[in-house]
């Protein structure tokens, strides 16, 4: 009787444990999707901020031009003074009498000069008047853009805080999800034994490779300037096998694919290094991050923040892509999206 009760208890416990694990995974998946969505919103917000900043700079330039025209009112006064000094606006009778005592060539020359100064004065006056009206409009538009810019900055800060909060929830939940311990042990051994990146990747690669490939599900892990393309690298930090990104500000590094993290640790001169695989035969290799936010044995979504990269010339992100063991140009796979 006791033995039967034991087996019943054991069976119920396992069922409950399995159900709890399934619920954890479901909740974790939901949280991960939220982090991807929030991070995408942050990128969109960042784009909008950049465009608004460009508009503000353009309006500032217009404002400067208008202010210059207004400051040049002395030029307008000077030209008007020259015209008045030459008695352009004297009566027709006086002008006729004066013309009788002046050589015809001198008269023509003076007339040309007068017409020139009159034209210049008219242009200057028009620019001055247009600038007075224009500067008011530019000021209003500039003020409006600045208000929108500040609001977008506030929204960005809020979204970043929300993202940080969600990522902490993901981190806590991930600790409760059962991971493949064999993968952890394998990672530790590879870290010690692998002499180079090829040996490391070969060590984590699946023996059975996919035959049916779904191309076009890859994105860049970070937004930034590409300072070294595939095949261009000339030193250790700019390997020819991948791409190197330089960011203008602190950024999250996101997973280029949906897949499983098979390595997330330091590795020789590469520093912090992450390898992500999927069932289609792709292996994404990332290095140069300041902090790794995930660990091996964890499933990640495309666009999910997995690490942090600081702004700076010495903080560059290296991105390498392999397909069924063969190194490929990441740019060629991303560009087809």
pTM listed for this prediction: 0.70
**Domain co-membership, 224 together with 191:** yes
Domain containing 293 equals 181-334
| 105-132 residue pLDDT tens | 555 565 665 666 566 666 666 666 565 6
Q: Where a domain ends, among 144, 161, 176?
A: 176
**Domain co-membership, 216 together with 132:** no
**Domain co-membership, 246 together with 316:** yes
**Domain co-membership, 154 together with 232:** no
**Domain co-membership, 155 together with 247:** no
Q: Which of 238, 243, 198, 200 is nearest to 218 (CA)?
A: 243
**Domain co-membership, 11 together with 159:** yes
**Domain co-membership, 140 together with 190:** no
pLDDT of residue 57: 80
- Which residues, other chains included, contact 237 with Cβ-Cβ below 8 Å and sequence gap of 6+? 244, 288, 316, 318
> Which domain CATH number covers 260?
2.70.70.10
d(CA 118, CA 163): 65
d(CA 304, CA 282): 17
Edge-to-edge strand ranges of the sheet holding 305-309 = 251-254, 305-309, 291-292
Q: Where a domain ends, among 176, 197, 230?
A: 176
Q: What is the dihedral of CA 92, 98, 104, 106, to 10 degrees?
A: -110
d(CA 247, CA 253): 11
How many domains does the chain fold into?
Answer: 2
- Rounded to the nearest 5 percent, the helix, strand and coil shares of the chain are 60, 15, 25
pLDDT of residue 297: 87
Quick one: tokens of 220?
A: 């860049």
> Is residue 210 classed as helix, strand or coil in its secondary structure?
coil
H-run or E-run covering 320: strand 316-323
**Domain co-membership, 25 together with 170:** yes
Specify the pairing of strand 251-254 against strand 291-292.
unpaired
Q: Which residues of the chain, if any, have pLDDT below 50? A: 3, 5-20, 88-94, 96-97, 100, 210-216, 336-337
| 156-206 residue pLDDT tens | 888 888 888 888 888 888 877 777 777 788 888 888 899 888 889 888 887
Q: What is the dihedral of CA 48, 52, 58, 62, to 10 degrees?
A: 150
**Domain co-membership, 163 together with 203:** no
């Amino acid at each position: 009787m006791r033995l039967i009760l034991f087996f019943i208890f054991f069976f119920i416990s396992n069922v409950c444990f399995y159900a709890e694990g399934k619920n954890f995974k479901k909740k974790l998946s939901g949280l991960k999707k939220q982090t991807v969505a929030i991070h995408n919103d942050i990128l969109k917000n960042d784009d909008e901020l950049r465009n608004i900043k460009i508009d503000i700079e353009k309006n500032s330039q217009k404002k400067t031009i208008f202010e210059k025209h207004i400051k040049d009112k002395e030029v307008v006064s000077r030209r008007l003074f020259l015209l008045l000094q030459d008695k352009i606006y004297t009566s027709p009778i006086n002008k006729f009498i004066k013309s009788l005592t002046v050589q015809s060539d001198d008269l023509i020359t003076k007339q040309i000069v007068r017409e020139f100064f009159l034209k210049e004065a008219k242009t200057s006056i028009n620019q001055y008047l247009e600038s007075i009206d224009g500067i008011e409009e530019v000021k209003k538009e500039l003020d409006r853009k600045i208000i929108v810019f500040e609001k977008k900055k506030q929204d960005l800060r809020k979204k970043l805080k929300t993202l940080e909060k969600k990522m902490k929830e993901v981190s806590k939940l991930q600790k409760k999800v059962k991971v493949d311990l064999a993968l952890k042990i394998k990672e530790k051994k590879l870290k010690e034994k692998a002499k180079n990146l090829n040996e490391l990747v070969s060590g984590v690669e699946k023996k059975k490779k996919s035959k049916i490939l779904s191309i076009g599900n890859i994105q860049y892990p970070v937004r930034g300037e590409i300072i070294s393309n595939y095949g261009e690298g000339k030193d250790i930090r700019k390997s020819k096998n991948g791409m190197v990104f330089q960011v203008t500000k602190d950024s999250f590094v996101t997973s280029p694919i949906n897949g499983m993290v098979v390595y997330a640790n330091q590795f020789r001169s590469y520093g912090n290094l992450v390898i992500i695989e999927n069932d289609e035969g792709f292996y994404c290799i990332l290095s140069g991050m300041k902090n790794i936010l995930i660990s091996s044995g964890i499933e990640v979504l495309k666009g999910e923040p997995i690490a942090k990269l600081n702004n700076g010339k010495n903080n560059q992100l290296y991105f390498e892509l392999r397909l069924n063991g063969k190194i490929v140009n990441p740019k060629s796979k991303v560009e087809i999206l």
